[in-house]
């Protein structure tokens, strides 16, 4: 799929997203905007569009990095416990630092997400049965254990409703003043692009990477830090968006191959397009009400995930 077609589709969907909402604004209104329409565009519609694009791009690239480093096509922040660990970190910040700023909450979530990801990688090293399907299932079980711990303490501290409503993926809360943390993801994505070749070499195995003169441990740990930080930012700002980092890289590598540098731009574009499509779908199905992005991506993403698992079973049978 050529990049220019993806760019054209992204522009069309972005413009469509700007003009969908309870308050009717048409493209022709741009030439004579009222004060209310101008405020809606600046305070709500543009921040929402920027949040969708950044979240779609960054989470898709996180999944691609994790799949490269673990050498497993079914590993992502969703199936490695990274998201669940970040969620636990946010709960801890709510319990211990009730008046903390978003930056403090992000740092606590980042610490937990990084710790959870490192634990998963250690489990991965210990597992002798390196089956393509088995590893992500172990990650899902690990994530469910962390999620259960989070739910237990949330119930105990009467925070379950707060956690459920706040951390469900939803772009309707992406308004001016509440989404700016996501901008930190942009330099992280650029760094990931600059390190793409090193991540590709690291994905070939420790012995191979060391023979080529690569500091294998540093590159792997650096990649996991990028993944954990971006995941924390997205969860804190937008909420949990399941399966995004799993399905998009798999779709891209089907036609683009395994070279990370070649795949990154396509992964970023298709990730943004997929999230935009799901968001538009969630806004029009029961208009003027809205289905949260976590639900639409979860339903569509889980279906694609099942297809990929069944296809993987046939491929490795």
Structure tokens at 147: 């999620």
The reported pLDDT for the residue numbered 313 is: 52
**Peptide bond preceding 288: is omega within 30 degrees of 0, i.e. cis?**
yes
Q: Which residue has the higher pLDDT, 256 or 315?
A: 256
The span from the CA of 30 to the CA of 7, in Å, is 23
Q: What pLDDT, in 10s, does the model give residues 243-264? A: 888 888 888 887 777 667 778 8
Q: Which of 65, 59, 63, 53 has the alpha carbon at shortest distance from 273? A: 53
**Residue 110: closest CA among 145, 62, 148, 65:** 62
Q: Could you identify the residue written with the tokens 């490269």?
A: 68
User: Are residues 171 and 51 in contact, defined by beta-carbon separation less than 8 angstroms?
Assistant: yes
CA distance 25 to 18: 8
pLDDT digits (tens, 9 = 90+) for 137-169: 888 888 889 988 888 888 888 877 767 766 677
Mean pLDDT of 121-125: 82
Higher-confidence residue: 1 or 88? 88
Superfamily of domain 54-315: ABC transporter involved in vitamin B12 uptake, BtuC (1.10.3470.10)
Q: Decide if 56 contacts 272 (C-beta within 8 A).
A: yes
Which of 140, 79, 88 minimizes the C-alpha distance to 110?
A: 88
Higher pLDDT, 149 or 73: 149
Q: Identify the pLDDT of residue 314.
A: 53
The alpha helices in 19-127, defined as continuous H runs, are 35-40, 46-70, 82-96, 102-126
Which whole number is the average pLDDT over 96-111?
81
Asked whether the predicted pLDDT for residue 315 surpasses 50, the reply is no
Residue 124: count other Cβ atoms within 10 Å of its Cβ. Answer: 18
Q: How far is 80 from 62, CA to CA, in rounded Å?
A: 12
Q: How far is CA 26 from CA 19, 150, 214, 231, in A?
A: 6, 44, 54, 34
Tell me what pLDDT residue 316 has.
43
pLDDT of residue 273: 92
Residue 102 banded pLDDT, cuts 50, 70, 90: confident
Q: Tell me, what's the pLDDT at 305?
A: 79
pLDDT digits (tens, 9 = 90+) for 39-57: 888 888 888 888 899 989 9
Is residue 291 over pLDDT 80?
A: yes
The pLDDT value given to residue 276: 92
| pTM assigned to the model | 0.84
Helix, strand, coil share of the chain (percent; to 5):
75, 0, 25
Query: For residue 129, what pLDDT is reported?
Result: 62
% of residues, the chain, pLDDT over 90: 3
Res 274: pLDDT: 92
Q: Is 276 exposed, middle or buried (0-12, 13-18, 19+ CB in 10 A)?
A: buried
Given this model, what pLDDT does residue 183 score?
87
Does the pLDDT of residue 317 top 60, yes or no? no
* Mean pLDDT, rounded, of the chain: 82
Domain boundaries along the sequence of the chain = 54-315
Cα(266)–Cα(65) distance, integer angstroms: 14
């Amino acid at each position: 799929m050529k990049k220019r077609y993806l760019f054209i589709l992204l522009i069309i969907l972005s413009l469509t997203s700007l003009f969908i909402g309870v308050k009717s604004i048409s493209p022709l209104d741009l030439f004579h905007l009222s004060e209310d329409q101008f405020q809606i565009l600046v305070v709500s519609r543009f921040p929402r569009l920027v949040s969708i694009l950044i979240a779609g791009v960054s989470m898709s690239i996180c999944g691609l990095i994790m799949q490269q480093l673990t050498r497993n096509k079914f590993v992502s922040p969703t199936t490695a416990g990274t998201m669940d660990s970040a969620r636990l970190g946010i709960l801890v910040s709510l319990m211990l630092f009730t008046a903390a700023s978003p930056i403090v909450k992000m740092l606590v979530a980042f610490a937990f997400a990084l710790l959870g990801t490192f634990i998963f990688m250690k489990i991965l090293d210990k597992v002798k049965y390196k089956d393509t399907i088995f590893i992500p299932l172990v990650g899902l079980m690990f994530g469910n254990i962390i999620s259960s711990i989070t739910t237990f303490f949330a119930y105990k501290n009467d925070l379950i409703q707060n956690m459920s409503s706040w951390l469900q993926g939803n772009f309707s809360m992406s308004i001016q003043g509440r989404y700016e943390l996501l901008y930190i993801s942009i330099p992280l994505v650029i760094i990931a692009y600059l390190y793409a070749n090193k991540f590709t070499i690291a994905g070939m195995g420790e012995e191979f990477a060391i023979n080529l003169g690569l500091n294998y441990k540093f590159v792997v740990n650096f990649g996991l830090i990028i993944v954990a930080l971006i995941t924390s930012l997205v969860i804190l700002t937008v909420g949990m968006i399941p399966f995004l980092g799993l399905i998009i890289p798999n779709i891209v590598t089907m036609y683009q191959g395994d070279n990370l540098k070649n795949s990154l731009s396509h992964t970023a574009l298709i990730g943004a397009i997929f999230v935009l499509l799901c968001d538009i779908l969630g806004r029009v199905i029961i208009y003027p009400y809205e289905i949260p992005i976590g639900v639409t991506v979860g339903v569509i993403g889980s279906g694609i995930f099942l297809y990929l698992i069944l296809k993987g079973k046939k491929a490795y049978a």
